[in-house]
Amino acid sequence: MIDHDFNEYFVCGVISTLFVLLVTLILLKWWRFMRALEKVDKLDGRYIFVTGCDSGFGEELCIELDRLGCHVFAGCLTDEGMVNIKDRCSSKVFPIQLDVRHHNSIQRCLQEIRKLIPKNKGLWGLVNNAGICGAVGPTQWLNAGDFKEVLETNLLGAIDVTLSTLPLLKSENKYESCRIVSMTSIMAQFISPGALPYCISKSSLMTFCNCLRLELSYSKIHVSTIQPGAHESNFTKTGLISLQKSWERLSSEEKNLYGLDYYKRISWYERTFLKIFARKSHRKVIEAYIHALLSKAPSRNYIVGYDANVMCLLSLYFPNFILDFLFRITGVVCRPLSS
């Protein structure tokens, strides 16, 4: 009888505890959801540094931040990019020459920012948007220089900019954290054959950001990453051009080893993938950037696009041997002529 009563009390206690935990979790989720909808105030007093503003996501982000009333320091690689930003934005956006591959260029850019920013003010946000597609093609077609070129911009450049900018990041409200937002890619976790240098650069940047977020968790700096899927831009167009260049620089012997059909199949896959999945609108990416920069409760990571979400689920829940099989039967991995 005593054992029976004890069992009843024990079961009731476990159920009650689980119920309380579930309700608490739901309330916390609801509180975070509602807080995420709130934006920080006094946007005209927020100064944000964005890299890679010549075109694409960076250019559109500058325009949107300008529309919202923020002050923006737009890092541009080319003179044409600087002129374009001046023409399309108000006087609150300051285009500055920046090549993230060179430390001296980064220091000159930050020196210019220090001159333009008011005294006792700091940067509210840093956006690591600068990036290149780099060399595309089977790994056997590439060389060490191809990997170095991509890593210098996508990884080492972003790291150098971040470390150099950290002293300028400053929150004026003890209840708010300033922001570091980095553009990675869904390819950081879903490896795409034929784009290994790019995948390595983005997965490494993801690791850097995740570690930095933990190390800065007790400071007033919040670190977010954005992982978009395919989007139509000059960036994606260079991928097809790069694939052609990788093929053309092969020797005649190497071309005979793989066969022209091998190159055509890879090229067809790249074009077909972009035609099916690449989104023309960049709106969702810009919205993710804005939320990461201006929401009172920014997310740690933003996965943007239905293709990116599908790839994320596949990489998390499918065994590698199934993914390898899917790559082969869909033609992502082609058989060379000599195999």
Catalytic residue from among 198, 262, 289, 302: 198
List Cα–Cα distances, 42 to 47, 69, 230, in angstroms: 11, 9, 34
DSSP 8-state secondary structure symbol assigned to residue 220: T
Residues, the chain, total? 339
The residue type found at 235 is F
CA 154 to chain centre: 10
What does the block give as tokens for 48?
A: 């944000």
Distance CA 88, CA 93 (A): 10
Phi first, then psi, for residue 72 (nearest 5°) are -130, 135
Residue with token string 């105030």: 41
Can you tell me the distance from the alpha carbon of 198 to that of 183, in angstroms, rounded to the nearest whole number?
A: 13
Task: Tell me phi and psi for residue 126, to 5 degrees.
Answer: -125, 130
Neighbouring-strand partners of residue 231: 279
Task: Specify which residues 182 forms β-bridges with.
Answer: 128, 225
Cα–Cα distance for residue pair 245/182, rounded to 1 Å: 29
Distances (CA, A) of 64 to 8, 26, 57, 123, 139: 60, 33, 10, 18, 38
Beta strands in the chain (DSSP E): 47-50, 71-76, 93-97, 125-128, 178-183, 221-228, 301-304
198 part of the active site? yes
C-alpha to C-alpha distance for 254 and 194, rounded to whole angstroms: 17
The one-letter amino acid code at 140 reads Q
Place of tokens 């300033």: 178
Asked if 234 and 56 count as a contact pair (C-beta separation under 8 A), the reply is yes
> Mind telling me the catalytic residues?
198
